[in-house]
Amino acid sequence: MIDVYDLWLDFCSEYNTHQRGHVRPQSTFLRWVNTISKELFEEKFSNWPKNQTLSDNLARPFLRSRVIRVENGKGFNDIIPYPGDYAHFSSARFFLSKNVIVEPPSLADTVDGFYTLEDVEETVYTESVVTLVDNNRWSSLLEHKFKKPTVNNPAISQYDSGFKIAPKRIPYIIFDYLKIPVDATFAYTLGPGDQIIYDRDKSKKLEWNSLTKVEFLSRLGLKYGKFIGGQMVYEMSNAEKKSI
C-alpha cells in the first residue's frame, strides 16, 4: 500500500513545490491522487488479460471472492445483486457433487465474505464455472433447445441492478470481481509555524502496490505542471510517463 504522506513528501521533493508553487495536501493534492487512482484502475483493467504484471497489480489489492446468495427472480432466471464495492466482473462458480449443487463445509457459514477451499476435497466436489453472456443474447440463450443453461453449464448476464443467472434454483455463487479503489485520506493538524503534523491512524492509504508509486509521481507531475503553468515540469513528467 502507498502512504499518502510519504507520497506527498516525495512529490514535494521531486517537483520542488516549495519554490515552484505550494499545493494543499488535504485538498488539491488529495483530489489529484484519488483521481489518478481511478484512472490507473480503469487503464490497467482494460489491459488486464494482456499483461501479467498489470494483472498482479490489480489482483493483489482489488480482486475479491465472495459467496453471494442468489435471490429468486421472475421467469427463467434468478438474481445476483451487485456487491456494494463492485467495479468489474472476473468470474463466478459454484460446487457440484454428482451433478447436484452442494455447499462444502468451508462455505456453509461464509455468506458475503471471503472463502477458502481448505476443507474441500477435490475428489468429492467439482466446480461448475458460470459463463458471462452478453445481455442481447440472454433471451435467445434461455429459449435455445440445446444450449440453454444447466447446472453443468450455467450462465449469467449483467443488467442495471446486478446479474441474472440461469438455470433457476442455484442457491449461491462464488463471485470473483474487482472492487472499487477506496479513496485515500490525509488527516493532519498544524503545529508551530503551520507545520503539518500527519496523523497516520486517521488517514487512509492508497490500496495500490508500492511498486506503482512511480506512476503516481509521474502523473502528479503532469497535473502539477498544468497547475503552475510550468511547461518544463509538464514536459519532463510526460516523458517519464511514456517511459514507464
91 and 150 inside one domain:
yes
Given 139, 155, 179, the domain boundary residue is 179
**152 and 196 assigned to the same domain:** no
* pLDDT, tens digit (0-9, with 9 covering 90-100), for 3-25: 999 999 898 888 887 776 677 87
Q: Would you state the pLDDT for residue 236?
A: 62
Residues 189 and 162 in one domain: no
C-alpha distances (whole Å) from 109 to each of 24, 65, 68, 82, 189 are: 47, 15, 12, 20, 43
Do 103 and 168 fall into the same domain? yes
Q: Count how many domains the chain has.
A: 2
Tell me how far apart the alpha carbons of residues 226 and 170 are, in angstroms, rounded to a whole number.
53
Q: Are residues 88 and 37 in the same domain?
A: no
78 and 115: one domain?
A: yes
Residues 75 and 98 occupy one common structural domain: yes
Look at residue 116 in the predicted model and tell me its pLDDT. 47
What stretches of the chain adopt beta strand conformation (E)? 63-69, 78-81, 86-97, 100-102, 126-129, 131-132, 155-159, 162-166, 172-179, 188-190, 196-198
Alpha helices in 109-161, H assignment, sequence order: 135-143
Looking at 179, 205, 231, which one is the last position of a domain?
179
pLDDT, tens digit, for every residue of 53-97? 556 767 778 888 888 888 888 778 889 989 889 999 888 988 887
Q: How many CB atoms lie within 10 A of CB 205?
A: 17
Angle between the 4-15 and 213-228 helix axes, to the nearest 10 degrees? Answer: 50
Residue ranges making up the domain that contains 21: 4-58+183-243
Dist CA 153 CA 130 (whole Å): 7
For helices 30-46 and 52-62, the axis angle rounded to 10 degrees is 130
Judgement on whether residues 16 and 124 belong to the same structural domain of the protein? no
Q: Which residues contact 128 (CB under 8 A, 6 or more apart)?
A: 93, 94, 95, 96, 101, 151, 152, 153, 154
Contacts of 186 (CB under 8 A, 6+ apart): 4, 5, 8, 25, 26, 29, 30, 198, 203
Predicted local distance difference test score (pLDDT) of residue 233 = 57
Verify that 70 and 170 share a domain, yes or no.
yes
Say whether pLDDT at 114 is over 60.
Answer: no
Q: Are 130 and 155 in contact (CB under 8 A)?
A: yes
User: What per-residue confidence (pLDDT) applies to 38?
Assistant: 94
- Per residue in 146-178, pLDDT tens? 888 888 889 999 888 899 998 888 888 888 899
Q: What residues contact 61, with CB distance under 8 A and at least 6 apart?
A: 1, 181, 207, 208, 209
pLDDT tens by residue, 180-192: 999 999 888 877 8
Enter the pTM of the model.
0.75
Instruction: Work out the mean pLDDT of the chain and round it to a whole number.
Output: 80
CA distance 1 to 212: 9
pLDDT at 109 over 60: no
Euclidean distance between the first and the last CA atom of the chain, given in angstroms as a whole number? 19
- Residues 75, 51 share a domain: no
Task: Say if residue 19 is in the same domain as residue 86.
Answer: no
129-150: average pLDDT: 85
Domain boundary among 123, 154, 179: 179
Are both 133 and 72 inside the same structural domain? yes
Report pLDDT for 119.
47
Is the confidence at residue 35, as pLDDT, over 90?
Answer: yes
Q: CB neighbours of 49 closer than 8 A, spacing ≥ 6?
A: 55
